Structure 1
Amino acid sequence: MAYLYYGADARPAEIPDHVLAHVKVVAATKLRRGESFMLTWRHRGEGTGGRTSLWMQPSIPLRFVFDEPEPEALDSEYLRKLANEATSSRGIVLEWDDEAIVGHPGEAPPIDAMAA
């Protein structure tokens, strides 16, 4: 699992490494341009319900922590999907199960940065 720390909250959101690696690229691109967006995910685990939505904006501290020391291979199609969602009024809605990312198109050749 990877961890997303946002703002002054000391409790991180737990998100799979592969998913958060893609969110990191999209967030860095959007926030570097001064563009805000919504990021939403459902709560995971026994007895948890509901969801969290964050308004991602450049002035709020953001930190990504990954369990793996090596960067994840990025899927250009999944990056494009997240980037398109980030520009919508709904924002990015993350979905995953214990085995795979829901809606993930499959493994494509890794890329170093999101296509603008």
Structure 2
Amino acid sequence: MGRFIYGAGGDSVEVDDRTLAHLRIVVMNKLRRGEPFMYDTKLGDGIGRRSFWLHPSVPLQFHFSGGRAPRINRAWLDEMMKAASGPNGLTVMPEPPDPADIGSPEE
């Protein structure tokens, strides 16, 4: 499990490394364009949720527990980017099948 760390105070939430890698790309692209947005995340089984206003002026960190970068699912990135640009902001949804894997031989 990695950590999404927000603000100078180090406020953070746990996010699995695969999701965190996709989240990092979405946040990087949105903020690079100067597009602040809301990120809403659940805090485990039934213990609530938190919302973060993501803006270029707020320091962010993405702490990965693993040493290898996961393969990126373009379809998931597209869905996350659409959500981040929508009126409710980004909520991480389940990962869809990766079109690059459809029809590829199994290892």
Settle same-fold status: TM greater than 0.5. Answer: yes
Q: Which of the two has higher C-alpha Rg?
A: 2
Distance 1:11 1:26 in 2: 20
Distance 2:11 2:56 in 1: 20
Q: Which moved more, 1:7-16 or 1:34-43?
A: 7-16
Does the CA contact (< 8 Å) of 2:35 and 2:55 recur in 1?
yes
Runs of 4+ in 1 over 3 A off after TM superposition: 107-110
3-state DSSP class of the match of 1:89?
coil
Shift of 1:27: 0.4
- Alignment gaps of 5+ in structure 2: 102-107
Distance 2:44 2:91 in 1: 14
RMSD of equivalent CA atoms: 1.6
State how 1:23-62 maps to structure 2 within 5 Å.
Answer: 23-45=23-45, 49-62=47-60
Distance 2:88 2:4 in 1: 20
Share of identical aligned residues, percent?
A: 32
Does the CA contact (< 8 Å) of 2:13 and 2:43 recur in 1?
no
Q: Select 2:88's aligned residue among 79, 86, 90.
A: 90
